Amino acid sequence: MVGRNGCGKSTLLDILQGKYTATVTSGVLFSCFPCNIVGETGLDIIENVSGAEQWRILAEVSKLALDAEALYKPLDTLSGGERAKAMLAALFLDCELNGKFPLIDEPTTHLDTVGRVAVTKYLSRKDGFILVSHDRVLLNSVCDHTVAINNADIEVIQGNYNVWRENFLRKEQYEQTQNERLKQDIARLETSAREISARSENIEKHKRGVNSAGLKNDTGFMGHKAAKVMQLSKNAMKRAEGAIAEKSELLKNAYKTAVLKIYPLVYRSEKLFDLRVNDVTYPILRGGKYALSGGNGSGKSTIMKSVCGIEVDYAPPVPFVLDIPKDITVSYVPQNINEITDITGVDDNLFRAILAMLGVPSKDLKKISANTDTDNFSSGQRKKLAIAASLASPSHLYVWDEPLNYIDVISAEQIEQLCRHPDMTLLFAEHDTMFAENIGAEKIEIV
């Protein structure tokens, strides 16, 4: 299931679970990921959700490459990825043992690249589920149908995300061509109708006068002629109205994917600084794109916070050395959406314009500014707020920690296109492997 942030994907899953009043025709009950966490360990979660025996649980988690020892650890010591895998195992055991249908909402958000590969393999062996995800690799690998929640309708097609996207763009291109043709037809018909109407009025105006021979005009004949000409005008207007009606049915689902723009500051020298990790030195050059690569807990976020001058109160997992010149301006997007609280100090008009380009509805834009309290926003909205604030702050270096987390696939493609800007210097971590590949990023291994 795909669609822009805020279009109602998660709400639809809630409707299927009976959380909202609606008419749902179904012969099965539903079980959903993420589930309510009840218990003190990962094992407690799975047992309470599914009622499965321990041997079944151990067999299921092994399919997700989850260490069995993690099941017995306190929940607050588990990583986000370990929790996600435990809840996925709980979901499918519940469905297999209790005859339910699985609903899955964003399973890869907290997973590193290795974890995403494990979950992709796991889901590819499962039959029958509805998956909400912004992970294009996952959608293409495990889905054989796509439910698209569009601006004007909901469509179901046979095929994965790439198939749907290709069909969607082809249809959009056809409708744009038709739209341009109809615009020209409408302008031509309206002009013709006005000219014909003016001729009719002129005939009617002179029907009681004299002709060029000095004889009185036949008022009956002239009146009939004026009426015929007026009918021609009405016919032209009717055709124009038909073209307008046809045009109004086009492009209802078109996404306003305006090209995002960035105004980076140009640093005084080609090299901004050196980043030394594990005795390997990586020069960070003006206009370069650099992907920090490593598993969860490897220290990617620690390095990025240090680049931004943010102090951490723990030893980094991997030793690194950097010396950032004081005249470098850095713009930061944190991984944790709970850290996205202060977006003040940016150009409010530019900030709101970027949000509009990222698909934030106009009704929501009225409630948003750079000084808005973000506590009540969805995860996707808050991430877009942070990215918009970063783009609205001209900088020498942009440091983005998992920028595509919670971001819909349409906006992700816009952000990818933006990050190809030759003057944008970007240091980032992102487990969506397509992002780094599509922007041509250099990999910095953190192991």
Regarding whether 353 and 399 lie in a shared domain, the answer is yes
Kindly state the tokens that stand for 200: 């009719």
265 belongs to a structural domain: no
Examine residue 179 and state whether it is found in any structural domain, yes or no. yes
Is residue 283, in this structure, part of any structural domain at all?
Answer: yes
Instruction: Residue 308: give the domain boundaries.
Output: 271-445
3-class DSSP assignment, residue 283: strand
Strand partners, 132: 105
Which H or E run contains 12? helix 9-16
**pLDDT tens, position by position, 317-360:** 888 998 899 999 999 998 877 665 556 667 788 888 888 888 77
376-399: average pLDDT: 86
Is there a single domain that holds both residue 120 and residue 213? no
Closest by CA position to 105, among listed 7, 24, 19, 9? 9
Q: Quick check: is 2 in a domain?
A: no
Total domain count, the chain:
3
Max avg pLDDT among 70-74, 182-186, 245-249: 70-74
Residues 111 and 190 in one domain: no
- pLDDT: is 217 or 23 the higher one? 23
Q: Give pLDDT tens digits for 157-166.
A: 999 999 998 9
Distances, alpha carbon 205 to alpha carbons 211, 225, 233, in Å: 13, 12, 17
Alpha carbons 344 and 389: distance in angstroms, whole number: 8
- Count of alpha carbons within 13 angstroms of residue 407, beta-carbon side: 27
Domain end residue (candidates: 124, 151, 178):
151
Closest CA to 49 of 107, 90, 95, 105: 90
Instruction: Examine the domain organization and report whether 27 and 97 are in the same domain.
Output: yes
Query: Has residue 210 got a pLDDT over 50?
Result: no
Residue after which a domain boundary falls, among 216, 248, 280: 248
Instruction: Check whether residue 110 and residue 188 sit in a common domain.
Output: no
- Looking up residue 367, the CATH number of its domain turns out to be 3.40.50.300
The residue type of 145 is: H
Q: Give the end of a domain, one of 91, 119, 151.
A: 151
| pTM assigned to the model | 0.74
Residue 115 shares a structural domain with residue 22? yes
Name the CA radius of gyration of the chain, rounded: 30
Mean pLDDT of 411-431: 92
Identify whether residues 211 and 291 lie together within a single domain: no
With respect to residue 161, please indicate whether it lies within any of the assigned structural domains: no
My answer on whether 136 and 179 are in the same domain is no
In a domain, 263, yes or no: no
Same domain, 299 and 441: yes
* Domain-embedded: residue 206: yes
Per-residue pLDDT at 374: 59
Query: Helices 42-50 & 80-98, crossing angle to 10 degrees?
Result: 20
Same domain, 173 and 233: yes
Cis? peptide before 102, omega within 30° of 0: no
**Distance, CA of 152 to chain centre:** 17
Range in 229-243, 258-272, 277-291, 348-362 the model is least confident about: 229-243
Q: Percentage of the chain surpassing pLDDT 90?
A: 41
156 within a domain of the structure (yes/no): no
Taking the CA atoms of 88, 94, 96 and 101 in sequence, report the sign of the dihedral they define: negative
pLDDT at residue 285 is higher than 80: yes
Residue 251 has pLDDT above 50, yes or no: no
With contact defined as beta carbons under 8 Å apart, do 400 and 339 qualify? no
Amino acid 379: pLDDT? 78
122/192 same-domain check: no
Q: Of the segments 198-202, 243-247, 411-415, which one has the largest average pLDDT value?
A: 411-415
Q: Do 137 and 58 fall into the same domain? A: yes
